[in-house]
Amino acid sequence: MPKSFTEDQVIDRIEDMRRRRPRFEDVHITMSHGAGGKASRQLVEGLIVPLLTNPTLEALGDAAVLDVDGLGLAITTDAFVVSPLRFPGGSIGELAVNGTVNDLAVMGARPLALSAALILEEGLDVEVLRAEVQAMADAAARAGVAIVTGDTKVVERGKADGMYVATTGVGRIAPGVRLGPDRVRVGDRVLVSGTIGDHGVAIMLARGQLDLEADVRSDTRELWSLVSGLLAACGDGLHCLRDATRGGVATVLNEIAMASQLGVVVAEDRLPVRPSVAGAGEILGIDPLYVANEGKFVAFVAPEVAEQAVATLRALPGGEDAALIGEVRVEPPARVLGRTTFGGHRMIDVLVGDPLPRIC
């Protein structure tokens, strides 16, 4: 269990570290660099972004935003290397489409078109491929978007674990919609669109390496229908959205806190966690706050629309378990504090290390 700190103690810790630009000093790539936490951030911000330097990339949103003659376009890309390819509640093809649609959705962008690049392993059973392409088609149809272009490569037996998928999405941002951490204000309420940790725990269990059985299914689903409902209900009161994938809700909250230089205080007893996920997490020693989701976002909304936002989400399929979980304060700047059930506080830092590789 995490230790409890007073708020002041928490604020004083690792102050310097958080303000520095991440440096990348590793010599070899490790699994941690792909886990979505600190090591990933160091790789991306310390090595890749400085080399590719351009202002759009440096914004480091879930999707890049372009203005083309007044037309707001969002572009996002993701590689999917999840293992196993199929798991309770979904599969790599469904994940690839939903993940990309969701990165557009949280920028407030309606998906216009998707592309898919498949890297297939020699010897892959064609029925496995067929099932995944069908899963992609079905997921795209549910999100109201088409896969308009693609590419297929084959690598030798033993590589690529059956298949990897890279999807890219192009979306359109409605005029006037602008979401981002720079719009987050003190007093904003923080909500999640549903239960947390389902996807990551489902994958861990599906690997069958643990002596544990539990009925946990991935939450993979498209989020555009929920986001469009929220945009309609909250208007300008919707300030920032992030989908809580690798690194989980804790990492997303930290990213927003760092980008806004404001504090996020989370009421831990309000976090919606399924009992099966909580139970599995306890046995595995994993906090659901750090576990990947594939159909959940975190929203920052103005206080006056917060109740309406939750009510709107709860009335939509996939948003039934939406909950207010916290608020934005001046203190602690650039940090996330958890208020525990017993009145204590703990610092909720970004994910360190790699408890859950190959989760998406």
Contacts with a second copy in 12-71 (CB under 8 A)?
24, 26-35, 40, 43-44, 47-48, 51-54, 56-57, 61, 63-64, 66, 68-69, 71
Q: Is 175 in the site for a second copy (CB under 8 A)?
A: no
Q: Is 320 in the site for a second copy (CB under 8 A)?
A: no
- Single residue of 148, 174, 210, 330 touching a second copy by CB under 8 A: 148
**Which residues 240-279 are close enough to bind a second copy by CB under 8 A?**
none
Question: In this structure, are strands 297-301 and 238-243 parallel, antiparallel, or unpaired?
Answer: antiparallel
- Single residue of 85, 101, 118, 292 touching a second copy by CB under 8 A: 118
Taking the C-alpha atoms of residue 3 and residue 234, their distance in angstroms, rounded to an integer, is 37
Convert residues 74-103 into a mask of x (bound to a second copy by CB under 8 A) and - (unbound): -xxxxxxx----------------------
* Cβ count near 343 (within 10 Å): 7
Residue 360, H or E segment? none
Most distant pair of Cα atoms in the chain: their distance: 58
Is 265 within 8 Å of 330 (Cβ atoms)?
Answer: no
- Single residue of 152, 210, 232, 320 touching a second copy by CB under 8 A: 152
Nearer to a second copy, 241 or 347 (CB): 241
* Degrees, nearest 5: CA angle 1-285-35: 115
Q: Is 176 in the site for a second copy (CB under 8 A)?
A: no
Nearer to a second copy, 1 or 126 (CB): 126
- CA-nearest of 360, 213, 212, 214 to 295 is 360
**Residue-wise over 268-297: b if at least 16 C-beta within 10 A, else e?**
beebbbbebbbebbeebebbbbbbbbbbbb
Q: Is 158 in the site for a second copy (CB under 8 A)?
A: yes
Q: Is 209 in the site for a second copy (CB under 8 A)?
A: no
What residues form DSSP beta bridges with 229? none
Work out how close the CB of 126 gets to a second copy at its nearest, in angstroms, rounded to a whole number.
6
Work out how close the CB of 324 gets to a second copy at its nearest, in angstroms, rounded to a whole number.
30
